[in-house]
Amino acid sequence: MLFLVSVAGQIGSQTDPPYSAAKAGLINFMQCAAKDLAPYNVRVNALSPGMVKTDLNESVWRASQVNLPPAERQSYESWASEKIRKISPLGQWQTPAELAAMAVFLASDRARNITGQTLNIDGGQVMHA
């Protein structure tokens, strides 16, 4: 079993506390499920992405520009590059393909002793926080 959570569930998000709380709750639920299902050889883990370049991030950018004077507005690419450099020690966006690769690994026999874990695919964001 695999949950998709967020680094916000581990380090919080000043801009969206309810989202952070919901993701933290999922992490805790995953750990309880891992413990409960272990006797049945069911592994339960969570993938925790950091910054994934999606339509959601583009809407955050749009909202951040609304009240700025035209001279201070940034293009999406400029805003995104600056944001990821500030947040992620590796300075790069995470991709859906990276999450998928970890999900495939966790579903494989090579991960047979991994359960109850939150795996961060975040460019070092949680470590940096």
- Residue-wise pLDDT for 33-62, tens only, equals 999 999 999 999 999 999 888 887 788 888
Q: Which residue has the tokens 């991994």?
A: 114
Longest dimension (CA), the chain: 61
Report angle CA 68, 69, 70 to the nearest 5 degrees.
110
Domains along the chain? 2-128 (3.40.50.720)
Token pair in block for residue 41: 């050889």
Q: Is 125 left (phi over 0), alpha (psi -120 to 50) or beta?
A: alpha
> Does the pLDDT value for residue 90 go beyond 90?
yes
Percentage of the residues of the chain whose pLDDT score is greater than 70? 98
State the pTM of this model: 0.85
Catalytic entry in 1, 2, 13, 19: 19
Annotation says 19 is catalytic: yes
> Does the pLDDT value for residue 129 go beyond 70?
no
> Does the pLDDT value for residue 15 go beyond 80?
no
- Residue-wise pLDDT for 55-89, tens only, equals 877 888 888 898 999 999 999 889 889 989 998 99
For the chain, give the number of residues: 129
Cβ(4)–Cβ(46) below 8 Å: yes
Among candidates 91, 74, 73, 77, which has minimal Cα distance to 128? 91
